Amino acid sequence: MCQARLKGASIGSTEIEFIPGKLSGGQYIADTMTAGSISLLIQVSLPCALLAPAPVSVSLRGGTNADMAPQVDYMGEVFRYMLNKFGGDFSLDVLRRGYYPKGGGQVKIEVTPVRCLQAVDVTERGDLRGVHGWSFVAGTLPIGMAHQMANGAKQGLRNICNKVNIEVYKEDRSMAPDNCSGIILVGEMTSGCVVGSDGLGKRGVEPIEVGRKAGEELRKVLESGACVDSHVQDQLIIYMALAAGKSTVKAGEITLHTQTAIYIAETIAKTKFTITPCGEHNLIQCTGIGFINNNLPPA
């Protein structure tokens, strides 16, 4: 997408050099060739696509619901709404599910570039409007596992939310032929903030425990008073650095991923982030560089 050159990318190399070129719009394909996370491909491609000179369409292949990364549904149901606050957006279409170890998932995203990202103030959460989500199984796994995960999630959220609506379903074999189970939870606030959590079924772990852990993770975010969850927290750093003006985000405990993202943003963009403890949460602040996409005319 940025016509880059890469040096030193070989087995045993201890150093690589990445030299970006000029951004271009158009159609692209990225294939992990494994069950590698499609959500992570979305994370790295979106900033470039949003500041490209023309619309961008990207076909992504790999794992749609992978461990150690947000499930692709989270990207569309949580991350997208937080990106909207910066003035960016994308469409996401899941064409086929891909799970570990085979992969084979296919997702298409389409992005309309913006001239400049706007600073955000995400410090007022408002009241919890409700929690909704999806509990699924695929392949030969029984639907009862999805019901157990949903019940576990409700146990984890007990006494914090009376309105919990979790859809339980089995993926169509034409969409997802391989075995997998998982749950995605989304909490909506009256302020427009959205927080989430998710979990994947694992061998040796009871489905009810998978759901309970996802519910307790969301409960922790809701009780902390934070406006963003730990999964979206680090993803916002690059947009805060590029935006025009001062951004403030109320987060919970600062994750290692966020600390790393801040270090990279400060090194490359020469911005300065501050983290101010405030009770059970932290305020992340940054005055962005106000990057202008000169390929687009002023509004």
pLDDT for position 209: 98
pLDDT for position 162: 80
pLDDT for position 163: 87
Paired tokens of 155: 């146990």
Q: Are residues 109 and 14 in the same domain?
A: yes
% the chain with pLDDT above 90:
92
Residues annotated catalytic, as ranges = 257
Q: Are residues 120 and 231 in the same domain?
A: yes
Q: Which domain holds residue 20?
A: 1-114
pLDDT, tens only, 253-297? 999 999 999 999 999 999 999 999 988 889 999 999 999 999 898
CATH of the domain at 138: 3.30.360.20
pLDDT for position 298: 86
Average pLDDT, the chain: 95
pLDDT for position 149: 98
Q: Are residues 105 and 17 in the same domain?
A: yes
CATH of the domain at 232: 3.30.1370
Buried b (16+ CB within 10 A) or exposed e, 37-58: bbbbbbbebbbbbbbbeeebeb
Out of 195, 224, 253, pick the residue that ends a domain: 224
End-to-end Cα, the chain, rounded Å: 25
Q: Are residues 150 and 205 in the same domain?
A: yes
Is the pLDDT assigned to residue 52 strictly greater than 90?
yes
pLDDT for position 267: 96
**E-strand stretches of 26-103:** 26-31, 56-62, 91-96
> Cα–Cα distance between 72 and 92 in angstroms, integer?
9
Is the pLDDT assigned to residue 299 strictly greater than 90?
no
Mean predicted confidence (pLDDT) in 49-70? 96
pLDDT, tens only, 234-257? 999 999 999 999 999 999 999 999
Residues contacting residue 74 through CB under 8 Å, at least 6 positions apart:
39, 184, 196, 198, 231
pLDDT for position 160: 87
pLDDT for position 161: 82
Q: Are residues 13 and 103 in the same domain?
A: yes
CATH of the domain at 40: 3.65.10.20
pLDDT for position 129: 93
Mean predicted confidence (pLDDT) in 230-234? 95
Mean predicted confidence (pLDDT) in 165-187? 96
Out of 79, 114, 149, pick the residue that ends a domain: 114
3-state secondary structure 207-266: HHHHHHHHHHHHHHHHHHCCCCCHHHHHHHHHHHHHCEEEEEEEECCCCHHHHHHHHHHH
pLDDT for position 100: 93
Q: Are residues 254 and 219 in the same domain?
A: no
Domain count for the chain, please give it: 3
Is the pLDDT assigned to residue 107 strictly greater than 80?
yes
Q: Are residues 206 and 259 in the same domain?
A: no
Q: Are residues 135 and 120 in the same domain?
A: no
pLDDT for position 175: 95
Q: Are residues 108 and 1 in the same domain?
A: yes
pLDDT, tens only, 7-46? 999 999 999 999 999 999 999 999 999 999 999 999 999 9
Out of 183, 207, 224, pick the residue that ends a domain: 224
Q: Are residues 201 and 238 in the same domain?
A: no
